[in-house]
Homo-oligomer: A and B are copies of this chain.
Amino acid sequence: MTVRDELNRRSLRATRGRLQVYEALRAAEAPATVRDLHARLGEAAPDLATVYRILERFVESNLARPVMFGDGLRRYESTERSHHHHLVCTSCGSIGILDLCQVESLEKEALRSHGFRVTSHLLELFGTCPGCARQASRSRA
């Protein structure tokens, strides 16, 4: 399915800006901020405000997913990859992907103890990636 089809299927006009942002999102190796995406597109990039609007639409249409690391910046990632969580290295900022999610038991507990029905969750893990751990042990030596 081509990009245009994806957009079409969601009745989103296939404008140049959308095609560009869509590609940038796909190409990103990690969740990207609006500024990141905008910058990656260089000269031909649509206006920054437009990129904001495009991503808003993408989220509504489930082409993109917002990602929050709690640093006040909103990031986005393509929905091509399914639900997962991130391993955010607090030392170098690298992002790992954890394709494991075990919130069901928490959801059950929320329902059991509070009668609360969970519909979505926010879960990100922070720590040290192997590379940074190696460096740290080296410089410590």
Chain A residues in contact with chain B, CB under 8 A? Answer: 66, 68-70, 72, 74, 85, 87, 89-90, 96, 98, 100, 102-103, 105-107, 109-110, 113-130, 133
Contacting pair A124 B122 (CB below 8 A)? yes
Contacting pair A87 B116 (CB below 8 A)? yes
Given contacts A70-B68, A85-B106, contact A98 B114 (CB under 8 A): yes
CB distance from A60 to the nearest CB of B (A): 16
Report which residue of A96, A105, A117, A130 has the largest number of chain B beta carbons within 10 angstroms of its beta carbon.
A117
Given contacts A70-B122, A122-B122, contact A129 B114 (CB under 8 A): yes
For A114, give its contact among B87, B102, B113 (CB under 8 Å): B87
Which chain B residue lies CB-closest to A70? B68
